Structure 1
Amino acid sequence: MSLLDTARNALNAGGRNGLASTERRDPIGLAVAGLNRLAGTDLLDRFGIRKQTEETVYRVTSAGFKTLGATSRVFARAGKATKGARPATAATSTGVFDLTPSEDDQMLVDVVTELADEVVRPAAADADTACEAQAEVLEATVELGLPILGLPEKVGGISEERTAMAGTLVHEALAKGDMGLAVAALAPGAVATAIGLFGTDEQQQTYLPAFTEPAGDTGVPAAALALTEPRVLFDPRTPQTTARREGDGFVLDGVKSMVPRGADAELFVVGAMLDGTPALFLVESGTEGITIESEPSMGVRAASLSRLHLDGVRVGAIALLGDPDGTSYAETLRLSRLAWCALSVGTAQAVLDYVTPYVKEREAFGEPIAHRQSVAFMVANIAIELQAMRLVTYKAAGRVAAGKDATREIGLAHRICTEKGMQIGLDGVQLLGGHGFVKEHPVERWYRDLRAIGVMEGGVLV
């Protein structure tokens, strides 16, 4: 039995509308499920408490839960604080503009595409409703090695050279199944990749074995890259979260928002201002002063987005990840935006693949609506803009893989994918008419997900 067959069987064991016996619902899902069942009886009217119950449902779904950080595994300190292993730069380009994936990249993309089609896509609607990714789906992505895709072989990864192009293709392929589940599955790999790119020997030997050689039943740890903050006109280059030096360590204060799988995460990479410059810090979830609050969102709901509160969180000298001059932070921000561009390309492709046959089969006034010029032009425009998004994203990824400065290219890709991605989602809903407004069709979910590209920072990393 193949990996995909195993994952499918485990997922289907819970039924379309049920939960697998091993699946853990978040507190919001359990509370709302219970209250909904209660609302279906006449008890509320009999005792005159229906209004109060409805208000409770509203408060629970809007405010969510608040809890301490997940109990972190013990990350054993090891090694010395010298420069760690880095992935090698990709082979020098011949100068020919060729976006054809290598044979290895194509094999990887084919496997991830099959996973997205046969496992991720069928699970997406339930995960969106429950605001949580199914354990079986996450396990399937771990089996494929996605959390260690960006790590060099020297530290237990699977890459011989910089994998920005392969990572971009994987993000795109997985998001074609569902962006929310893709973010949930790729979040631990973002932390591992950041440690592989910027970590010292001590940091890599302390934290990476949990990703490359998970022991027993603990598995690969949930982890999250936390850069976004909940404030108006947020600029990721100037976070309000602060880090001050104290003794031989640091004290962190602030709030991070839209953190993937925050309630389950055992390790965070947090962006904070240190001596007036943005820097990255490794923070274990069991550290005193950490509180996690659920953050129900419009889109990317399967990623279980959370708010991370840091109140006097004390970390050691090992916590500082990369250079304190802001270069590592800036590179992390750029690579995260590249990852979101790739996710938008995959989701936009899903929209195009769905609406194209729909407009050919849907009839109005005795003929397919695709015969209407306005409809045909809208579908064609989606295809044109999608190809533009893909080209600028691939070009940026190619420059990153070659070790070249890709600041301009990533900036262009992020701008185009933000604007055109949202437009493609909107057009997809429009093309389905009334069907685009209901959850029977997945396009409304893809539209909600595509709106995340312009507001999410961190979370994923190429």
Structure 2
Amino acid sequence: MPAVRLLPTEDAQDLIDLTREICAKDLAPQVDEMERAAEFPRDAFRLLGKTGLLSLPYPEEYGGGGQPYEVYLQVVEEIATVWMSVAVGVSVHSLTCYPVASWATVAQREALLPGMLGGDQLGAYCLSEPMSGSDVGSMTTRATLEPSGDAYRIRGTKAWISHAGHADFYTSFVRTSDDGSRGLSCFVVPADAAGIEFAPAERKMGLASDTVRQVVFDGTPVDADRRVGEEGQGMAIALAALDSGRLGIAAAATGLAQAALDAATAYAKEREQFGRPIGDFQGIAFMLADMEAAVTSARATYLHAARLRDAGRAFSTQAAVAKLVCTDNAMRVTTDAIQVLGGAGYTQDFPLERYFREAKVTQIFEGTNQIQRLVISRQLLKNT
């Protein structure tokens, strides 16, 4: 059943209604086939872009939806109840736009944001590398300033990049000096720049329609006016972007858990054993109750962080809490949902096995949950 939502405006409710309509009419009929074929759902992103759902949390003056994060995240959650790969893609695209929207000059915003937010373009976020994951400061991909001073050349390899090969631009964090984490800078690299190559798509256990590849920059030229922020500000930009990006993953994980709960509840009402629906047995009923509590608490957690963000308050710790709680709960709820269905849940006749596989990665990307615990504990100890 649809989540009960308390939204701030009538416009926000209209956006939720529109999202549910698109999910039911356009996304749901194709998700199973597309995921089995590992096809990238570019048409789905075009549709979301056309309807304005791909750029909700950004200013209207640049082509965004002008919506608070509280609303944007609930749209992401709704999409995730039907197609997790698309919900993750919406979050990734929002992540790619954040550095320009928050750190770029006025001239850069005017030049780049209308295209990035207009609905036709899709972005990729290039941060991780084959030997640099949680330890962002150890990255080796490097941008070297040309003697003319008006362009850089980038060399190196980025790993685990969603939308690689399909994106229109690559928000990329690369080294511009050897000063450790203070030597990183941010660039928006157009997809048609020379010297960009892609490795074969990773063969993942879930999110098959979320194409992930290595991106290889082989002397790729990038105009200097596509550097966002000053040289050396890359780490600060990346971490700030990830605070918001983690909320996108938290919302998507919550939507996935909601879908698993809905499927398990429907099955428990219909499946009969010993002459009555299995939901009548306390062992199943209490599992469903715990799953509902997990989904509800996850939603409240990410919305609390979003409302702090919308109010201009510090929210980094709450974003880490939300990412941790929502993704751990998604893993637990999808696991228990399979248990409710028993052997049927282990088959591909029901979507639960796909939900289970998709939930696992949410505990890993946008900062592993071990990193979230590190962020939270450091903040606690710093303040006591």
The TM-score range, normalised by the shorter chain, is 0.7 to 0.9
Which of residues 274, 297, 300 in structure 2 aligns to 1:391? 300
Which of residues 439, 457, 462 in structure 1 aligns to 2:348? 439
Are 1:342 and 2:241 matched, yes or no?
no
**Offset of 1:187 from its aligned partner?**
4.1
Tell me the equivalent position of 1:281.
187
Maintained 8 Å contact 1:147/1:190: no
Q: 3-state DSSP class of the match of 2:97?
A: helix
Cα deviation, 1:128-162, whole Å, max 9, x if unaligned, reads: 01212445433321221123323212223331xx6
**Offset of 1:100 from its aligned partner?**
4.0
Q: Which amino acid aligns with 2:45?
A: L
Q: 3-state DSSP class of the match of 1:157?
A: coil
**Offset of 1:230 from its aligned partner?**
3.6
Which of residues 100, 104, 108 in structure 2 aligns to 1:199? 104
Tell me the equivalent position of 1:168.
73
Identity %: 27
With normalisation by structure 1, the TM-score equals: 0.71
Maintained 8 Å contact 1:123/1:134: no
Maintained 8 Å contact 1:237/1:330: no
Q: Which amino acid aligns with 1:380?
A: A
Q: 3-state DSSP class of the match of 1:424?
A: helix
Give the whole-Å Cα distance in 2 for the aligned partners of 1:306 and 1:405: 34
Which structure 1 residue ranges, 5 or more long, are not aligned? 1-97, 214-218
Q: Which amino acid aligns with 1:163?
A: P
Cα deviation, 1:68-88, whole Å, max 9, x if unaligned, reads: xxxxxxxxxxxxxxxxxxxxx
Alignment of 1:309-348 (within 5 A): 309-323=216-230, 324-325=232-233, 326-348=235-257
Maintained 8 Å contact 1:112/1:173: yes
Maintained 8 Å contact 2:158/2:215: yes
Alignment of 1:112-131 (within 5 A): 112-131=19-38
Give the whole-Å Cα distance in 2 for the aligned partners of 1:260 and 1:398: 27
Maintained 8 Å contact 2:77/2:252: yes
Which of residues 178, 191, 206 in structure 1 aligns to 2:83? 178
Give the whole-Å Cα distance in 2 for the aligned partners of 1:295 and 1:192: 24
Cα deviation, 1:379-415, whole Å, max 9, x if unaligned, reads: 1111111111111100111111111110110111111
Are 1:235 and 2:137 matched, yes or no?
no
Count of residues paired in the alignment? 353
Are 1:267 and 2:267 matched, yes or no?
no
Rg bigger for which structure? 1
Give the whole-Å Cα distance in 1 for the aligned partners of 2:126 and 2:355: 23
Tell me the equivalent position of 1:353.
262
Tell me the equivalent position of 2:9.
102
Maintained 8 Å contact 1:351/1:428: yes
With normalisation by structure 2, the TM-score equals: 0.84
Q: Which amino acid aligns with 1:288?
A: A
Kindly tell me: are residues 176 and 273 of structure 1, through their superposed partners in 2, closer, same or farther at Cα, counting changes over 3 Å? same
Moved over 6 A (4+): none
Tell me the equivalent position of 2:120.
220
RMSD, aligned α-carbons: 2.4
Give the whole-Å Cα distance in 1 for the aligned partners of 2:296 and 2:63: 35
Kindly tell me: are residues 239 and 313 of structure 1, through their superposed partners in 2, closer, same or farther at Cα, counting changes over 3 Å? farther
Tell me the equivalent position of 1:424.
333
Kindly tell me: are residues 441 and 115 of structure 1, through their superposed partners in 2, closer, same or farther at Cα, counting changes over 3 Å? same
Q: 3-state DSSP class of the match of 1:287?
A: coil
Q: Which amino acid aligns with 2:220?
A: V
Q: 3-state DSSP class of the match of 1:451?
A: helix
Q: 3-state DSSP class of the match of 1:422?
A: helix
Q: 3-state DSSP class of the match of 2:258?
A: helix
Tell me the equivalent position of 1:6.
none
Give the whole-Å Cα distance in 2 for the aligned partners of 1:227 and 1:182: 20
**Offset of 1:189 from its aligned partner?**
4.1
Tell me the equivalent position of 2:372.
none
Which structure 2 residue ranges, 5 or more long, are not aligned? 368-384
**Offset of 1:299 from its aligned partner?**
1.4
Q: 3-state DSSP class of the match of 1:173?
A: helix
**Offset of 1:211 from its aligned partner?**
3.9
Are 1:254 and 2:159 matched, yes or no?
no
Higher relative contact order (CA 8 A, sep 6+): 1
